[in-house]
Amino acid sequence: DDIAAYFGVKVALYFAWLGHYTCALCVPAVLGTILYAGLWDIGHVIFSLFNVAWASLYLEAWRRYSVELAFRWGTLSTPPELLEPPRPLYKGPLEESSVTGRLEPKEAPAWQRRAFRYLVSFPIIGLCLVLVFVVMFLMLRLQVFRHNLDQGVFSCLSVIPKVLLAGAITLMDEAYYKLAVWLNDKENYRLQSKYENHLIAKVALFQFVNSFLSLFYIAFYLRDQDKLKEQLAGLLISRQIIGNLRESAWPYLVEQWRLAKLSFKIPSEFSASSTPPKRSIGQAEVESSLYKYDGTFSDHLEMLVQMGYVVLFSAAFPLAGLCALANNLLEIRSDAFKLAHVHQRPFGQRVANIGTWQNALGMLGLAAVIVNCALIGLSGQVSRLWPGLTSTQTVILIVALEHIMLGLRSALTWLLPELPSWLAAEIARAE
C-alpha cells in the first residue's frame, strides 16, 4: 500500500507480483531440495509433474490476488481506450478529438504500420534469431572443446564456457532491446498500452529463444540430462549474479562517482596540484542527477526468464527453485534500493493488472506442460515402468499425458473464477 501511494499502482503491482512469486517458490525449493538429496531416480518424473501443477496453480492464484489488489487500490475499472491520451512520442497530424474536443494526433493508417512490420521488423527479428543460433552453437562447441582437453590441467576452466554463454546472452539481450525499441518507435503506435504490448511481444520472443535455446538443444537434440543439469545451473546462477550487478550495484557506483565529482568545484585560481574545496549539494540537485526510471519492463522480463528456467527445466536441476528463491529475496531489496537511491522517482501510473506480462506468464505455463511431458518421455522412466512399450507407444503415452494435463489446466481456469466471491459481493454492495 505504501509503494502504491508513493510510486504508483504500476510499480506496486510489480513488487506485489514479485513478493507473491517469491513466496510461491518456497514449495518447489523445498521439494526440489528433498528430491535432489534423495529420491532422484523417480524424482525426475515427480518433479516434472509437479512443475506443471505448480505453474498452473500459481498463475491462477496470482490472477485472483491481482484482482484483489486492483480493487483495494481503486483501479479495477480502467478507463476505455478512447479516453487514453496519445503517447507523447507519437507522430501524426493533429485533429480535434470527437471524445475530448482537444487537438490530438490522428491515428496513422494501419497499412503503414503493417508494411513496416512485415517488411522491416520481422526480417530484422529473424536475423537476430539466426545470430542467436550461431552464437549458441559456437559456445556449445567451445564447451565440447574444453571437455576434450586434459581434465587434470584444465579442470578449473570447466565453468568458463558457461559463464561466457551467460555473458553473451546478457549482451545480446541488451543490444536487441535497443533494437526492439527502435523498431517499435518506427512502427509509431498512438497509445502507450499498444506500444508496450508490441514491445513486450518483440522482446519476449527474443528472450525466450536467447535464454532457452541452448537448453532445448541439449535436452531434445543431444538428450544429455547431465549436461542439461550443468548448463541450467550455470546459466541460472551466472545470469542472476550478472543481473544484480548490472541493474543495481554498477549504476549505484557510477552515481556515487558522479555525485563525488559534483561535490567539488574547481575555480580557475586553484592549481592542478591543490585540492579543490568541497561544496554542498542540495537535495534537488542530487535527485536531478539520478538515472531516469524506465519502468518495470526490464524487471518483469528478468523474472519471466527466471521463472522459465524453474518451470521448464528444473526437473533436470531440482535446486533451481532454491536458487531462484535465494535470488528473489535479494532481488526485492535490490529493486527497492534501485528505486530509492539510483533512479528518479517515477510518475505514478494507475493500472488494473500487470498487463501483457500476465499473458506471457500464461504462455509460459502452457510451455511448461509441453516441455515437462517431453522430458518425462526422454528420462527413461517410462521404458523402465513399461519395458514392453515401443517408441511409438511411448510417444502416444506422452502425448496423452500432455493432453490430460492441458485439460486439467483448462478445467482449473474454468473452476476458479477470476473474481473471488467475497470481492464480487463487495463490488455489488458498492454499486
CA distance readout (Å), 139 to 147, 166, 231:
12, 10, 11
Report the C-alpha gap between 133 and 138 in whole angstroms.
Answer: 9
Give domain status of residue 270, yes or no: no
Specify the residue for cell string 555525485.
Answer: 259
The pLDDT score that the predictor gives to residue 149 is 62
C-alpha cell at 389: 512399450
Q: Answer whether residue 116 is part of any domain.
A: yes
Q: What number of CA atoms fall less than 13 Å from residue 58's CA on the CB side?
A: 28
What is the pLDDT at residue 278? 55
Q: Is 259 helix (H, G, I), strand (E, B) or coil?
A: helix
Burial 353-363 (b: 16+ CB within 10 A, else e): bbbbbeebbbe
Residue 123 lies in a domain: yes
Dist. CA 350–CA 339, nearest whole Å: 18
Greatest Cα pair distance in the chain = 92
Assigned domain for 148 exists: yes
pLDDT of residue 246: 81
Q: What is the pLDDT of residue 222?
A: 87
- State the DSSP H helix or E strand holding residue 105, giving kind and residue range, or none if neither: strand 103-105
Domain assignment present for residue 272? The answer is: no
- Its sign, for the CA torsion 200, 203, 209, 215, is negative
Residue 324, domain member (yes or no): yes
* Per-residue pLDDT, 270: 44
pLDDT for 243: 83
Residue 185 domain boundaries: 1-265+280-430
State the pLDDT at residue 304: 93
Give the pLDDT of residue 282: 65
Q: Helices in 314-342 by DSSP H: which ranges?
A: 320-337
Is there a domain that residue 271 lies in? no
Average pLDDT per consecutive 10 residues, the chain (431 residues; last block may be shorter): 88 94 95 82 82 92 91 77 74 73 77 90 93 87 69 59 82 91 90 88 91 91 87 88 80 75 54 53 68 85 93 91 93 88 83 88 92 86 77 86 89 82 77 65
> Within a domain: residue 340?
yes
Number of domains in the chain: 1
